[in-house]
Structure 1
């Protein structure tokens, strides 16, 4: 096992777009981990909802199917060595990382619209916390980033369970969102590569 910050150039065409999303040079195992667990998680959520006859519309089923794949897939993808090499490559800045974090307003708004009656206060609270904690981790000296990220994630769990409203049957949404961003994405870690 070795630390390897070098990555191949992204491929051309649609495959290059995927490379820029998951990190060029992802191993077969990394790709399998990015694909199958999110699909299984989403299928599990949908199956549980159907078996228990949750009072969801077709649009809510579609929204949660897509968001669950995105949340779980993102949590796994951003933790891979391929993604760490790509997202922490030379030239990536604080602004680059915060732009990625900022894009998650879409998921927060969609979730609130679909399951919380479009609660503007919830959207502002969750989004502000996500941006502030991400910025704090990114600005923390590297040797302290892991414990700071862990501390902020524990705080995020507390807020997820006791402060931010949780949609019935979807209590997992915020913890996975916070894990995806605070632990998997903004936390810089060494990209290990098999020999």
Structure 2
């Protein structure tokens, strides 16, 4: 509905949850699992029907990467995640959870393209590290901008990443989806602060 109003609420409580955001509702968690599993299943079907010659362990690694990235695109768009990751670290948010609230550190954890380049791209370190550093640089660029420019800049960066992935720095077979989804997950979903609504 046009002009629909909803309450913006930055407060949360409960056991620290870096996956869905502390205080995520059942509906929020469910939508992440539905799209994450559905996307992973579609990719598994595509790889299987196109007879990509992967070993069993490569299928397992690819499924975990797909679930993390595709589910993460949805998770990082949740109001609970926006609330959690764009709020100050609380005393009970220690260790990895507290570190993950640092946007640059969170991005640095995402070595997915390096893994894919090494394990699926016949030791293609160029692919892996090019996109890894592109992701890090993109995060820094967006974070250095004024808040009102971060969303459009993030989407512009994602658009460029899609074009480079398609036409310049060709993706590893079976992972054509990885760079666009990873940039959606991190550069827009995680880095861009947006109002967390309730109800």
Q: Could you list the runs of 5+ residues in structure 2 that have no partner in the other structure?
A: 1-5, 90-97
CA 177–32 in structure 1, closer or farther in 2 if over 3 Å, else same: same
Deviation readout 1:74-127 (Å, 9 max, x if unpaired)? 11111100001110002489981100000012x122111222112122222111
Aligned to 2:61: 63
Contact preservation (8 Å) 2:99, 2:106: no
Report the TM-score, using the length of structure 2 for normalisation.
0.87
Aligned to 1:13: none
Deviating runs (4+, > 4 A) in structure 1?
A: 91-95
Give yes or no for the alignment of 1:161 onto 2:159. no
Task: Report the Cα distance in structure 2 between the residues aligned to 1:144 and 1:44, rounded to whole angstroms.
Answer: 34
CA 139–93 in structure 1, closer or farther in 2 if over 3 Å, else same: farther
Q: Could you list the runs of 5+ residues in structure 1 that have no partner in the other structure?
A: 11-15
Structural mapping, 1:3-152, within 5 Å: 3-10=8-15, 16=16, 19-91=17-89, 96-105=102-111, 107-152=112-157
Report the TM-score, using the length of structure 1 for normalisation.
0.89
Number of residue pairs matched?
186
Q: CA RMSD in A?
A: 1.9
Task: Report the Cα distance in structure 2 between the residues aligned to 1:2 and 1:53, rounded to whole angstroms.
Answer: 49
